[in-house]
Amino acid sequence: MTGYTYILRCSDGTFYAGSTKYLEDRLEAHQQGLGSNYTTNRRPVELIWSAEFERIDEAFALEKQIQGWSHAKRLAFIEGGFDAIKGWSARERALRSSTSA
């Protein structure tokens, strides 16, 4: 079954990442305050990025990955996709720091 990963911009400027089988229904739930505790008090929310996957577990895996990112990394990803965040991982930054020292 297909799945979606999505990113919402909340009314306070924060981002919320989620995954679902039914994107339109999930967005409506968020707008009604039923989507999640996080978005309930940060409405209205705006869908700013989404991707469809062949399987829901793929969508869920990307959701969890995005949830571990900083606000800045999420913004870079939204604006430029995966190419924009190459080299953003803590491991890659640490490797660059150790070779430049």
Confidence class for position 75, pLDDT limits 50, 70, 90: very high
Quote the pLDDT of residue 93: 61
Quote the pLDDT of residue 92: 59
Dump pLDDT digits (tens) for 88-101. Answer: 876 656 665 666 65
Residues 86 and 52 in one domain: no
Based on the structure, what is the number of domains in the chain?
A: 2
Dump pLDDT digits (tens) for 5-64. Answer: 999 999 999 999 999 999 999 999 999 999 799 999 999 999 999 999 999 999 999 999
Residues 84 and 48 in one domain: no
Residue 28 Cα distances to 19, 43, 74, 91, 94, angstroms: 14, 11, 23, 38, 41
Q: What is the number of residues in the chain? A: 101
Residues 73 and 57 in one domain: no
